[in-house]
Structure 1
Amino acid sequence: MSFKINNFNFLRPISRKKHRKKIKLNCINLPFKGKDIWTLYELSWLNKNGLPQIAIAKIEIDVNSANIIESKSFKIYINSFNQMKFNNNIDFINILTNDLTKCICGQISIKLFSLDAIKNETITDFHGICIDNQNIKIESYKYTPSFLMINSERKIIKEDLYTHLFKSNCPVTQQPDWASIYIAYTGLSINHASLLRYLISFRSHNEFHEECIERIFNDINNICKPEELSVYARYTRRGGIDINPWRSNTNFSPFLTRLARQ
């Protein structure tokens, strides 16, 4: 394989530490574990004979990595391989792994899938209760954690909730980021209307995908104080990439199949 440019230079790392300090997370002893799961749908390179190759990649970045990757820079980085020749897929995966590991300063896993391997993948939905049909009036779209409330009855429950109405904005491009958010918890009953109002308050909020999910986890954890909490987002695709972060303080296994808008 021949390299005419340094592909790594396209990548822009964003420190996790700065945001975590901003929302007063303990950066040494995080209250959650988790991963950022990226799906790359527009991935192509050349084989040794110059024939274009395509695949879909699933990339998992550990929450303890020092950095996240700014998605626009990731898109430019991926496209920089379109006219590059590789002897085999392993060589291609190795260069991706080395570059991305260096960028995030942490653990990463990369898997390539042929179209045949995923052509029968089904569209699914979160399980649990959809909170989108609340009879509430929305008057503010400014991020407001104080919207969160627990119900008056002091009863411990286990509940899975989700919304498809989430929107935030990219702090770099100001473009909208659309997502479905899943929240599973064990603890005092969270008021569904207050939770939906809170999540909608992100509508004009500028923050990266991963940062939004950590903020949501942190707010619910601090205000509602559940015994167990998992927050999982599946964002819609932008530039051929979707990002699906999850954070949990319990044994959480996110499903990886696509939602209807993905």
Structure 2
Amino acid sequence: MTQDYFLDQLTLGKSVSYTDQYAPQLLQPVPRSLNRQELNIVESQPFHGEDIWNGYELSWLNAKGKPCVAIMQVNVPFDSTHLIESKSFKLYLNSFNQSRFNSIEHVRQTLSNDLSQCADGQVDVFLYTPAQFNAFQVAALPGLCIDDIDIDVNQYQPDGNLLLCDRNSVQSETLVSHLLKSNCLITHQPDWASIAIRYHGPAIDHAALLRYLISFRQHNEFHEQCVERIFCEIQQRCQPDKLSVYARYTRRGGLDINPFRSNFETCWPNYRLARQ
């Protein structure tokens, strides 16, 4: 099955009817292998990690018909067979709006079961009630921001050749940029993100890294795929011993997607940035 054929079957970019009654069949999976074929990492990935989703528009009815709301956190493992297509996820969440559930745990378990089946991997779901909303404080990605470097830019499609490093100098650092922008693979709508790159190895040239990240500006690819591409190209070009890449994308339709990939550490906290 080709990528173009598969993506044409998705509801993304097409007019659809909304339903407010529980409809798990709305969820649509996208094989992770489609993008990983190009990166030559289908059989073995050089990283671990997860995709952290935050949902701010989750609502349902309790057994008496009274509306309930919650903030949702969903963790999809990197090694699930599929990623979850975001528009179908939004449509699926809308189907909870007029559906009755016996308890918040019933809602959480339903979400976990349906999303795990879609992703073909164990998906963990956490729900936070309004009494817990203050836990979602705005934070900042740790690290040195490289955005103020004065550079000329003329490349707006990703090119790993832009990356430079000094193999005679070993460095351990975390670099942050808020200038990452890519576009949806199908609709070409802009996807905005902040990104943190932590590594130990040959010193990465900061200006070159910034040019590389900016080069995604007209690139069409899903969030998860962009982060895996960034990880693989840094690994290939600079060969750090340790590498983590964490992107925090701004929300659309009440959902933000935050892929984390690393070859040495567990996932960072679920930071909520100012733009999220």
Aligned residues of 2:51 and 2:259 also touching (Cα < 8 A): yes
Residue 183 of structure 1 corresponds to 197
Q: Select 1:97's aligned residue among 112, 117, 125.
A: 112
Identity %: 47
Q: Select 1:125's aligned residue among 140, 161, 171.
A: 140
Aligned residues of 1:230 and 1:252 also touching (Cα < 8 A): no
Over 3 Å counting, the alpha-carbon distance change for 1:120 and 1:29 in structure 2 is closer
Aligned residues of 2:20 and 2:95 also touching (Cα < 8 A): no
TM value normalised by structure 2: 0.90
Compute the displacement of 1:6 (Å).
Answer: 6.3
CA distance in 2, matches of 1:208, 1:111: 24
Mapped pair 1:209 → 2:258: no
Compute the displacement of 1:4 (Å).
Answer: 9.3
**AA matched with 2:37:** K
Compute the displacement of 1:29 (Å).
Answer: 2.2
DSSP 3-state at the match of 1:238: coil
Aligned residues of 1:178 and 1:235 also touching (Cα < 8 A): yes
Over 3 Å counting, the alpha-carbon distance change for 1:143 and 1:84 in structure 2 is same
CA distance in 1, matches of 2:177, 2:63: 46
Q: Select 1:24's aligned residue among 15, 40, 44.
A: 40
Residue 82 of structure 1 corresponds to 97
Q: Report matched runs for 1:40-59 at 5 Å.
A: 40-59=55-74
Aligned residues of 1:67 and 1:104 also touching (Cα < 8 A): yes
DSSP 3-state at the match of 2:37: helix
Compute the displacement of 1:184 (Å).
Answer: 0.1
Aligned residues of 2:22 and 2:96 also touching (Cα < 8 A): no
Mapped pair 1:229 → 2:243: yes
**AA matched with 1:252:** T
CA distance in 2, matches of 1:29, 1:15: 15
Residue 263 of structure 2 corresponds to 249
Residue 145 of structure 1 corresponds to 160
Aligned residues of 2:22 and 2:95 also touching (Cα < 8 A): no
Structure 2 alignment gaps of length 5 or more? 1-18
Q: Which shows bigger deviation, 87-96 or 218-227?
A: 87-96
Compute the displacement of 1:253 (Å).
Answer: 3.4
DSSP 3-state at the match of 1:216: helix
CA distance in 2, matches of 1:198, 1:94: 41
Aligned residues of 2:157 and 2:218 also touching (Cα < 8 A): yes
Aligned residues of 1:127 and 1:160 also touching (Cα < 8 A): yes
Over 3 Å counting, the alpha-carbon distance change for 1:5 and 1:122 in structure 2 is closer
**AA matched with 1:187:** G
Residue 10 of structure 1 corresponds to 26
**AA matched with 1:48:** A
Compute the displacement of 1:5 (Å).
Answer: 5.8
Mapped pair 1:218 → 2:267: no
Structure 1 alignment gaps of length 5 or more? none
DSSP 3-state at the match of 1:203: helix
Residue 86 of structure 2 corresponds to 71
TM value normalised by structure 1: 0.95
